[in-house]
Structure 1
Amino acid sequence: MKNITLAIFILFISYAFALNSKSSNPALDFLNSLSIEQKEKALLPFGHITRQEWHFLPGAMWPRAGIHLFELDQNQIALLFDLLKNNLSETGYDKTMKIIDLENVLAEMSGDTDFRDPEKYSIAFYGNPEKDNAWAWSFEGHHVSLNFTIVNGKVTIAPRFMGASPAIIQEGHRKGEKTLGQEEGLGLILINSLSDEQVQKAIFQKESFFDIVTSNATEVGPLSKVGIKISDLNDKQQNILWDLLDEYLSTMPTELAEQRMENLKTEELNDIRFGWAGSTQLGKPHYYRIQGKTFLVEFDNTQSNANHIHLVWRDFDGDFGRDLIAEHYKNLKH
Structure 2
Amino acid sequence: MSLLFILTTVNAEAQDISDKANAFLNSLSNDLREQAHFKLDDAERFNMNYVPMPRKGPTFYQFNEAQKTAALNLLKASLSEEGFEKSSEIMALEKVLRIIENNDDDKMPSGRPRRDPLNYHLTIFGDPAPDQPWGWRFEGHHLSLNFTSADSRIVSSTPTFFGTNPGIVRSTEFKGKEVLKEESYLGFALINSMDDEQLKIAQIADQAPRDVITLTKRKVSHIEPYGISYKEMNEDQQELLTQLVQVYIDNYQKDFAADFADRIVKAGYENLHFAWAGSLSYGFGHYYRIQGPMLLIEFDNTQNDANHVHTVVRDLENDYGEDMLKAHYEEHHK
TM bucket by the smaller chain? over 0.9
Task: Output one character per residue of 1:168-224: Cα deviation in whole Å (capped at 9) or x when no partner.
Answer: 011233222111011011000000001111101100111100100111111103311
Q: Give the 3-state SS of the residue equivalent to 2:136 in structure 1.
A: strand
Alignment RMSD: 1.7
Could you tell me which amino acid in structure 2 is paired with residue 72 of structure 1? F
Q: Which moved more, 1:129-138 or 1:38-47?
A: 129-138
Structure 1 segment 139-288 matched on structure 2, within 5 A: 139-155=138-154, 156-288=156-288
Could you tell me which amino acid in structure 1 is paired with residue 21 of structure 2? A
Q: Is the 8 A contact 1:41 1:67 kept in 2?
A: yes
Residue aligning to 1:47: 41
Q: Is the 8 A contact 1:222 1:291 kept in 2?
A: no
CA shift for structure 1 position 9: 4.0
Structure 1 segment 1-40 matched on structure 2, within 5 A: 9-17=3-11, 21=13, 24=16, 25-40=19-34
Q: Taking every aligned residue pair, what percent have the same amino acid on both sides?
A: 35
Which runs of 5 or more structure 1 residues have no equivalent in the other structure? Answer: 2-7
Residue aligning to 1:4: none
Report whether the alignment pairs 1:78 with 2:77. no
Residue aligning to 1:87: 78
Give the Cα separation in 2 of the matches to 1:174 and 1:10. 14
Residue aligning to 1:5: none
Q: Is the 8 A contact 2:144 2:162 kept in 1?
A: yes
Task: Output one character per residue of 1:102-127: Cα deviation in whole Å (capped at 9) or x when no partner.
Answer: 00000111223511111111011110
Report whether the alignment pairs 1:128 with 2:119. no
Give the Cα separation in 2 of the matches to 1:284 and 1:294. 30
Give the Cα separation in 2 of the matches to 1:247 and 1:269. 15
Q: Is the 8 A contact 1:222 1:316 kept in 2?
A: no
Q: How many residues align?
A: 323
Could you tell me which amino acid in structure 2 is paired with residue 118 of structure 1? P
Report whether the alignment pairs 1:101 with 2:92. yes
Give the Cα separation in 1 of the matches to 2:322 and 2:9. 37
CA shift for structure 1 position 131: 7.5
Residue aligning to 2:295: 295
Distance 1:15 1:312, change over 3 A: closer
Q: Is the 8 A contact 1:56 1:142 kept in 2?
A: yes
Q: Is the 8 A contact 1:46 1:136 kept in 2?
A: yes
Could you tell me which amino acid in structure 2 is paired with residue 180 of structure 1? L
Give the Cα separation in 2 of the matches to 1:40 and 1:131. 22
Give the Cα separation in 2 of the matches to 1:111 and 1:128. 42
Residue aligning to 2:137: 138
Q: Is the 8 A contact 1:222 1:296 kept in 2?
A: no
Could you tell me which amino acid in structure 1 is paired with residue 45 of structure 2? R
Which runs of 5 or more structure 2 residues have no equivalent in the other structure? Answer: 105-112
